[in-house]
Structure 1
């Protein structure tokens, strides 16, 4: 199977290359075609015992390519995916470009990946917030039912890209170095992100942001049932690790210890929940892991059937690159 990776030099693109390089698929795949913008053209990226030169879409040859992965902004995916599909190349898209298109299956591999045929021409991978929350909700929906979800979604700067991470670093260094109020004005966020929280992820559509609207849309698609969701999405001054503080109203009553056992026995979930020993997950602690971590599971003393918890995962690996690798493995084994 020959693969092309669009956005190869971005945070997610590089993580895909790292995972692919260390997987059994590396022996089955030919050297991937790496595609990025003109800024990165000519850069060389290690892959196995060789280096691969990054090309632009116009200069890259897609001859023989069977699968194209888009780790690109939505506007780039929208621009190039139709042309790639016209060449009879299967597409795995990590952007939000087609997540609202009912004609394009939305995939969270551990939940519905194996029911989405391997020969599907075009699949859209859900957002990291949806992936981690749906992974936790699915077993609860099946066991007891979920009436309502309330979540505060905390996005790291790496979600916005490498330049956003650089902006956080520069602003933090400037403030720690005594820059004070004269800190440089950023370009990646509407407000200073260092030592701050920015309550905007994506553009505004009415009162809600793209991330907040997207969570509701995507959860309903992945879970295949309407679940009311109230959410607030914020950027926090961290580099890696997506987290959510979640309140769930269940359709029945389920004790916290039963929830812990249910989630611990569910595929893709790691429960770390021993507050007496200060054992719980953090965004930083999820770096370079592939699962969804759940902590602080507790019942609401004021409302029967209401649970609260904290969930986190590596947004680049578990929330993006691993989804691609799992999809490729499924396609390879069911070709």
Structure 2
């Protein structure tokens, strides 16, 4: 018997990707219901070779739904996720609304799968920030080997992390540059075409941005609260794919060769690392792929136990939609929805 799945925010970049991935991975769903705001009601979205009509969220009954994949933003999630959970439907939320709630598990299946069982407190499971998801997938096997003490990471985040408006702005500005039209910045604080912006989300009192704080707080919650994290988050003129330059200080010795061998065997990781022209992965190559790619693994001679590396993943997939579907698969494979079915 298959499951009934709802996708909230089905007309957005991540929502559409969730539908694609549910189909690609053959998720055992008898019914998939796309939901969005009332103004999107009747819009058609693709689900494999089928076309589904979007229904309105505000009058939908979730009592017969097993899992809700929520990708409609933090405010919508704060309003709707508790209501949906109270109807016995497990919400897997892609926003930041519930990530820091002690009663809501924050899950990356390759890293902390056992945490998923905590969903019964609120029937909500949080998906991490896109930059955090790929980071912890690469760090977990190394942490298990040599215990990470400190991480310094600089992110190079694509405009799709800011939604369709961000992608449209990069396209429009790039075209304007080539035809000598005025370049307008609306979504981003400065021009993004042929530029980089060291500013994602709002500034906080300590001078860091909320995006940088998210990477720190989520890495601690998912991986280990003792790890020290410093992050600089940068928006770059790339449509899809986040990249990260990561420097790691370990408690125990670990060589670059040992790290490569460990990561080659780690779930969700794919090592492409040759010290030659093109012997590394770029976001262009990672777009549309499920893996977290690791390149440029090398020892840091300024630290007693230090490594540096380059991490790349498709932010719409592993950073959002894929991770959410993997959590749903985890619930099914561990039989955690069985109690509701029996009732």
TM-score category of the 2 structures, normalised to the smaller one = over 0.9
| Cα shift readout 1:24-46 (whole Å, capped 9, x = no counterpart) | 22xx3133221112442221112
Distance (Å, rounded) in 2 between the aligned partners of 1:119 and 1:73: 20
Q: Aligned in 2, Cα 1:49/1:88: closer, same or farther, shift over 3 Å? A: same
For 2:303 and 2:81, how far apart are their aligned partners in 1? 48
SS in 1 for 2:197: coil
CA RMSD of aligned residues (A): 1.6
1:195 aligns with 2:194: yes
Does structure 1 residue 268 correspond to structure 2 residue 268? Answer: yes
Higher alpha-carbon deviation: 233-242 or 200-209: 200-209
Equivalent position of 1:146 in the other structure: 148
1:287 matched residue in structure 2 = 287
- 151, 159, 165: which one aligns with 1:157: 159
Report if the CA contact (8 A) 2:149-2:249 is conserved: yes
Larger mean Cα displacement after TM superposition, 109-118 or 220-229: 109-118
- Aligned to 2:225, the other structure's residue is in SS state coil
Give 1:23's aligned residue.
25
**Structure 1 residues without counterparts, runs of 5 or longer:** none
Deviation at 1:56, TM superposition (A): 2.1
1:273 is paired with a residue whose SS is coil
1:139 Cα offset (Å): 1.5
Residues 30-39 or 265-274, more deviating:
30-39
TM-aligned CA deviation for residue 302 of structure 1: 3.3
Q: Higher mean Cα deviation, 46-55 or 104-113?
A: 46-55
Q: Which blocks of at least 5 consecutive residues in structure 2 are unaligned?
A: 339-343
CA distance in 1, matches of 2:253, 2:49: 55
- 1:110 aligned partner: 110
SS in 2 for 1:107: coil
For 1:130, the equivalent position in structure 2 comes to: 132
Partner of 1:106: helix, strand, or coil?
coil
2:242–2:313 Cα contact (<8 Å) kept: yes
Q: Secondary structure at the match of 1:99?
A: coil
The 5 A counterparts of 1:176-215 are 176-179=178-181, 182-184=182-184, 186-206=185-205, 207-215=207-215
Cα separation, 2, equivalents of 1:47 and 1:260: 37
Give, in angstroms, the shift of residue 115 of structure 1: 4.5
Asked if 1:297 corresponds to 2:297, the answer is: yes
Paired position in structure 1 for 2:230: 230
Query: Secondary structure of 2:177's match?
Result: helix
Q: 1:140 to 1:154 in 2, by over 3 A?
A: same
Q: In structure 2, what is the equivalent of residue 246 of structure 1?
A: 246
Work out the CA distance in 1 between the residues paired with 2:61 and 2:53.
12
Q: Secondary structure at the match of 1:98?
A: coil
Aligned-residue offset at 1:305: 1.7
1:210-238 deviations in Å (ceiling 9; x for gaps): 11111111111111332111110011110
Contact 2:241 2:312 in 1 (8 A): yes
* TM-superposed deviation, 1:172: 0.5
Is this contact kept in 2: 1:118–1:331, CA < 8 A? no
Distance 1:229 1:320 in 2: 22
- Structure 2 Cα separation of the partners of residues 23 and 259 of structure 1: 30
TM-score, normalization by structure 2? 0.92
Distance between the aligned counterparts of 2:226 and 2:94, measured in 1?
Answer: 23
8 Å Cα contact 1:44/1:52 also seen in 2: yes
